Amino acid sequence: MQEQYRTVARAGVHESEINRSRFLCSLAPAATEQEAQDFVARVRKEHPTASHNCFAYVIGADAAVQKASDDGEPGGTAGVPMLQMLMRREVRYAVAVVTRYYGGVKLGAGGLIRAYGGVVGEALDTLGTITRQRFRLATIRVDHQRAGKLENDLRATGRDVREVRYAEAVTIGIGLPDGDVEAFTAWLADATAGTAVLELGGEAYGDASA
C-alpha cells in the first residue's frame, strides 16, 4: 500500500476562456469509481447545452483505476491530457470534468490538449490539494482515572484522536503511522503505568497534518 497520496482539498469549479471558448473545470474528491461517475453525470446534467463534457478520474492511492473521455473532441485531445495532469500532480481519488462551450474559433489538436490539461492544472491550483497519510487504526482501553490526562496528552503531542467512548472503561480510538507503533506502545505504557491496553486494528488514510 502507498504510504500517502494527494487529493483535491474541496469540490469546486474553475473557469477559463481560450479563443472565445469557455472551459469550466469541475473538480471533486471521489472515494470510489461510482462516486466519480455520479459526479460526471451530475455535471453533464447541469450543462446539457455544452459542446462537450470531457472527464478524467483516478481512484486508488496506487492509481489502480484511471478513466478518461474525450466526449466528442478529437481522440486524445481532452480526456487524456486531463488524466495526465492529475497523474503529473500525483492526485488520487479525484474526478475532473471539463465543460466546453464552443466560441467559434477552432483550437486545433495542440490547442485542445493545452486547454484541457491546462484548465485542470489551474483548477488544482485554485482549489488546492491535501496529503493523506496511511495510518494504523488502534484502540486504547484505559481506566476513568487516567483517561482525561491521557486524552489531553495524546492531543497535545499531535496524535490523531478519532473518538472517545465512556463505558465501564474509557476507549480512545486513534490513528498511528505504521512506523510509530513500537515507540507509541512504549510511551503509552510509561504514561499510564502499564495500565492501558492497546489493540491494533486495520488501516486507513487520514490528513498528514493530523
CA dihedral 33, 68, 102, 99 (to 10 degrees): 20
Asked whether residue 160 carries a pLDDT value surpassing 70, the answer given is yes
Which grid cell is 60? Answer: 486508488
The answer to whether the predicted template modeling score (pTM) of the entire model surpasses 0.75 is: no
Task: Using DSSP, state whether 106 is helix, strand or coil.
Answer: coil
Alpha helices in 15-166 (DSSP H): 33-46, 79-88, 108-127, 144-156
Sign of the CA dihedral running 90, 18, 24, 112: negative
Alpha-carbon separation of residue 2 from 15, 20, 133, 170, 178 (angstroms)? 33, 42, 9, 32, 12
Lowest-pLDDT range of 25-29, 157-161, 176-180, 182-186: 176-180
Mean pLDDT of 55-62: 95
pLDDT at 159: 86
Sign of the CA dihedral running 7, 13, 16, 22: positive
Domains and CATH numbers, the chain: 4-127 (3.30.230.30), 132-207 (3.30.70.240)
% of the chain residues with pLDDT over 70? 97
Angle at CA 15, nearest 5°, toward 12 and 17? 170
Alpha-carbon separation of residue 43 from 49, 92, 102, 119 (angstroms)? 12, 20, 17, 16
pLDDT at 1: 56
Task: Using DSSP, state whether 178 is helix, strand or coil.
Answer: helix
Mean pLDDT of 41-48: 97
pLDDT at 210: 36
Start-to-end Cα distance in the chain: 20
